[in-house]
Amino acid sequence: MAAHDLFSPIDAYETGRLPVDELHTLYWEQSGNPAGQPVVFLHGGPGAGASPDHRRFFDPQAYRIIIFDQRGAGRSTPLGETRANTTQDLVADMELLRERLGVERWHLFGGSWGSTLALAYAQAHPERVSALLLRGIFLCRHSEVTWFLYGMRTYFPEVWERFAGFVPPAERDDLLQAYHRRLMDPDPRVHLPAARAWSTYEGACSTLMPSPETVAAFGEDNMALGLARIEAHYFVNRIFLPEGALLERAERLRDVPGAIVQGRYDTVCPPTSAYDLHRAWPTASFRIIPDAGHSAMEPGIRRALVEATERYKHYR
C-alpha cells in the first residue's frame, strides 16, 4: 500500500439494527478482523451518515472496524428525526452499541462533528477509550457556528451568496433561525430545497480545490436532509452542552493518547479550534496539513489519517 492510499475496499462481515429507544433505530456494521483492535468510526455532520469508503482508513487485518449511523442519519431511522436527538443521547447510544458488540475498549476515529462526538464520549467514558484519532476539529463554540454561517463568505463569497440568498433579505441577519424554520417544516416542498441549499453550501466549502463530485453528493436528498436538519438542530441547541465545555473538560483526556490532524485551509472548521484543543490536550500529537481543506478525502488529510491508524493499530 502506497503511503497516500486508502486500504482496498472491503465488505462488512456483519450488519445490524439497534433500537435505542421507542423512536430511533441505528444501523451498524462490522468489517475487517473480528479479533482485531476495535475502532469505531464517527461520521460528521451531525447527520451526514457513513459510507463504505470509511472502512478504508483502517488496516482490515489489524482492526475490527465498527461503523454506525447516528440518530436521524444515513441508514438509521427515522431519517432527519430531531426528537430525542442530543449529544447525551448519542454518547449513550455508543455505550449501548459497545456493550451490544462486547467491546471492552475501542479507538475513536472522527472528523468534524465526529471529532465533537468523540471528545464528548471520551470525556464521559475515558476508561473505554484506547486512543482518539481526530480530524477537522469542531467544538461548536458560538464563534465557530457564527463562522460557518457568515465567516466562510470571506473565502467563498459566491457560494455564501447562494446560501444566504435562499432566504428573504429580511431574514438574513439570523440565517440559522431562518433555515431552521424551513428545515423543520413537515412539507418536503419546504424542507428539501432548504436542506439542499444548506448542504451544498457546506460541500462546496469543504475542499481545497473545487470538487463537483463532493457538491453533488452533499446535494443528494437523503444526505442533504439528514445533514442540514440535524446540523441546524444541534447548532440551535449549542450541541446541548455549555459553551466551551469540550475544552474545559479536556483534562479528562490526560491519560488518553491521540492524534489531531487538521487542514491548514479548512474553512469549515478553521485550525484555531484544533490548536485550542492541542493546547488543552498536549499529550496528543498535532499535525497541520499544509495543502488541505476540510474533507477527510483530501490527499494530505487522507495520508495523515492512515498514518495515524497505522501508528495506533497495535495500541490497546
- Indicate which residue of 43, 54, 233, 294 is catalytic: 294
- How many independent structural domains does the chain possess? 2
Asked whether residue 174 is domain-assigned, the answer is yes
Give the pLDDT confidence score for residue 33 in this predicted structure.
Answer: 98
**Domain boundary residue among 208, 239, 270?**
239
Asked whether residue 9 is domain-assigned, the answer is no
**Are residue 251 and residue 211 in the same domain, yes or no?**
no
233 is catalytic: no
Q: What is the mean pLDDT of residues 25-33?
A: 98
**Are residue 258 and residue 297 in the same domain, yes or no?**
yes
- Indicate which residue of 31, 76, 112, 273 is catalytic: 112
pLDDT in tens, 114-123: 999 999 999 9
The three cell numbers locating residue 65: 472496524
Give the pLDDT confidence score for residue 5 in this predicted structure.
Answer: 84
**Are residue 114 and residue 19 in the same domain, yes or no?**
yes
Asked whether residue 2 is domain-assigned, the answer is no
Asked whether residue 67 is domain-assigned, the answer is yes
**Domain boundary residue among 199, 216, 239?**
239
Confidence of residue 4 (pLDDT cuts 50, 70, 90): low
C-alpha 190/C-alpha 264 separation (Å) is 36
Asked whether residue 207 is domain-assigned, the answer is yes
Q: Is the pLDDT of residue 46 over 60?
A: yes
**Are residue 98 and residue 193 in the same domain, yes or no?**
no
Determine the distance from the C-alpha atom of residue 17 to the mean position of all C-alpha atoms in its chain, rounded to a whole number. 20
Q: Is the pLDDT of residue 1 over 50?
A: no
294 is catalytic: yes
Nearest Cα to 231, choosing from 13, 68, 73, 65?
A: 73
Q: What strands, in cross-sheet order, belong to the sheet with 285-289?
A: 14-19, 25-32, 63-68, 37-42, 106-112, 129-137, 258-263, 285-289
Taking residue 101's Cβ as centre, other Cβ atoms within 10 Å add up to 18
- Please report, in angstroms and rounded to a whole number, the separation of the first and last CA atoms in the chain: 24
**Are residue 302 and residue 168 in the same domain, yes or no?**
no
pLDDT in tens, 290-299: 999 999 999 9
In terms of phi and psi (left: phi > 0; alpha: psi -120 to 50; beta: otherwise), the region of 89 is: alpha
**Are residue 24 and residue 131 in the same domain, yes or no?**
yes
Q: What is the mean pLDDT of residues 254-279?
A: 97
| Mean pLDDT of the chain, nearest integer | 97
Strands (DSSP E) contained in the chain are: 14-19, 25-32, 37-42, 63-68, 106-112, 129-137, 258-263, 285-289
Give the pLDDT confidence score for residue 316 in this predicted structure.
Answer: 78
Q: What is the mean pLDDT of residues 15-38?
A: 98
pLDDT in tens, 130-149: 999 999 999 999 999 999 99
- Indicate which residue of 130, 180, 266, 278 is catalytic: 266
**Domain boundary residue among 239, 262, 288?**
239
**Are residue 131 and residue 244 in the same domain, yes or no?**
yes
Asked whether residue 6 is domain-assigned, the answer is no
Residue 95: CATH number of its domain: 3.40.50.1820
**Are residue 97 and residue 154 in the same domain, yes or no?**
no
**Are residue 151 and residue 219 in the same domain, yes or no?**
yes
Asked whether residue 271 is domain-assigned, the answer is yes
Taking residue 185's Cβ as centre, other Cβ atoms within 10 Å add up to 13
278 is catalytic: no
**Are residue 22 and residue 34 in the same domain, yes or no?**
yes
Residue 191: domain span: 143-239
Confidence of residue 85 (pLDDT cuts 50, 70, 90): very high
Sign of torsion, CA 89 95 97 100?
negative
**Are residue 212 and residue 253 in the same domain, yes or no?**
no
Asked whether residue 7 is domain-assigned, the answer is no
C-alpha 148/C-alpha 266 separation (Å) is 11
C-alpha 316/C-alpha 313 separation (Å) is 8
C-alpha 293/C-alpha 117 separation (Å) is 21
Prediction pTM value = 0.97
C-alpha 256/C-alpha 112 separation (Å) is 19
Determine the distance from the C-alpha atom of residue 129 to the mean position of all C-alpha atoms in its chain, rounded to a whole number. 18
DSSP 3-state percent helix, strand, coil across the chain (nearest 5) = 45, 15, 35
Q: What is the mean pLDDT of residues 18-41?
A: 98
Query: Contact at 8 Å (CB) between 255 and 282?
Result: no
C-alpha 277/C-alpha 77 separation (Å) is 33
pLDDT in tens, 214-244: 999 999 999 999 999 999 999 999 999 999 9
**Are residue 180 and residue 303 in the same domain, yes or no?**
no
